[in-house]
Chains A and B, each alone.
Chain A
Amino acid sequence: TQLLEQSPQFLSIQEGENLTVYCNSSSVFSSLQWYRQEPGEGPVLLVTVVTGGEVKKLKRLTFQFGDARKDSSLHITAAQPGDTGLYLCAGESRDDKIIFGKGTRLHILP
């Protein structure tokens, strides 16, 4: 069974701090997505990474896909209260399956 393990499960930090959350698997993925979900809403796509080693930036968010395409990280610089939410990673496997991690619940304290 393919799994995506996200860590940490919960993270509460002060506004202005930096943080990194992780998405790990023993399986190789064709692509990997990061979503953010706020309470009462559906997940919203932040980024898709496809190439091993790929780095994408979205303002203060930096996403990296592992060289072997088995893992990914999301780094947030100078976190703001608006970054609060559930961050989900999702992988598209080679056999056309889509798998979501259980997410990292991030809370930025003002």
Chain B
Amino acid sequence: DAGVIQSPRHEVTEMGQEVTLRCKPISGHNSLFWYRQTMMRGLELLIYFNNNVPIDDSGMPEDRFSAKMPNASFSTLKIQPSEPRDSAVYFCASGAFYEQYFGPGTRLTVT
């Protein structure tokens, strides 16, 4: 079975550009989570969806960040405009709170 799929794996962009990260969860999983990981702050939950509905977006750092889940098999995390401090590895995970399956991550570099 395919695990959680994320694309792109690496993204390098210039400050001010729009960035869209994509995630395909494991089929049958009802919850999807977006995380950001940095050396300084560790792994932080940004937002999670349950049955395609955003449940808790309190971790989204600011209005520049938005996330959508138009159907059970696809989600996006968008940053507009991007800033250098957004540089991090972004993970998508699916499953349940107590059992999450992570994708390989997208390494974002904003110059």
Contacts and interface: CB of A to CB of B under 8 A. Distances in A.
Interface in A19-49: 31, 33, 35, 40-45, 48
What 3 A-B pairs have minimum CB-CB distances, sorted nearest first?
A42-B102, A102-B42, A100-B43
B38 to A, nearest CB: 10
A98 interface: yes
Point out which of A42, A44, A48 has the most chain B C-beta atoms below 10 A from its C-beta.
A42
B101 interface: yes
Contacts of A101: 42
Interface stretch (B12-20, B62-70, B74-82, B91-99): B91-99
A46 to B, nearest CB: 11
B27 interface: no
B99 A48 contact: yes
Nearest to A92: B97
Given A92-B98, A97-B56, A98-B97, A42 B105 contact: yes
B45 interface: yes
B93 A42 contact: yes
A33 B102 contact: no
B111 interface: no
B104 A41 contact: yes
Contacts of B91: 42-43
Point out which of B35, B43, B100 has the most chain A C-beta atoms below 10 A from its C-beta.
B43
A103 B42 contact: yes
Given A31-B97, A42-B93, 11 more contacts: A31-B98, A33-B99, A42-B4, A42-B104, A43-B91, A92-B97, A96-B56, A100-B42, A102-B41, A102-B42, A102-B43
